[in-house]
């Protein structure tokens, strides 16, 4: 009987950890997708970057992207609804 109780406690502890792990995985996946999208936007604007390695959200639809080659860009949507990329 004690063995069953220990197994139950162990399983409960593992299940309790899952939501946090899944949230971290979702967050990492979202950040990777965000970096990939910003890489594409910068490339479509004809600017050198290679690959975005980190992002910092400044506001809604407003990001600072740091590229693998050292360039930094601010990518945002202006009041007219157009995507603007500015070198920082």
Report the domain count for the chain. Answer: 1
Domain that residue 49 falls in: 2-87
- Report pLDDT for 31: 82
Query: What contacts 31, CB < 8 A, 6 or more positions away?
Result: 55
Q: What span, in angstroms and rounded, lies between the C-alpha atoms of 23 and 64?
A: 23
- Report pLDDT for 18: 42
Q: Are 38 and 52 in contact (CB under 8 A)?
A: yes
- Report pLDDT for 24: 47
Q: What is the pLDDT of residues 32-88, one digit of tens each?
A: 889 999 999 999 999 999 999 999 999 999 999 999 999 999 999 999 999 999 999
Q: What is the pLDDT of residues 1-37, one digit of tens each?
A: 454 444 443 444 444 444 444 444 556 777 888 999 9
- Report pLDDT for 8: 42
């Amino acid at each position: 009987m004690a063995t069953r109780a220990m197994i139950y406690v162990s399983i409960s502890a593992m299940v309790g950890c899952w939501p946090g792990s899944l949230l971290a995985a979702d967050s990492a996946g979202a950040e990777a997708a965000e970096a990939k999208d910003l890489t594409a936007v910068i490339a479509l604007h004809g600017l050198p970057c290679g690959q975005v390695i980190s992002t910092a959200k400044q506001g809604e639809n407003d990001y600072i992207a740091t590229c693998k080659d050292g360039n930094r860009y601010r990518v945002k949507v202006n009041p007219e609804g157009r995507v603007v990329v500015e070198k920082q």
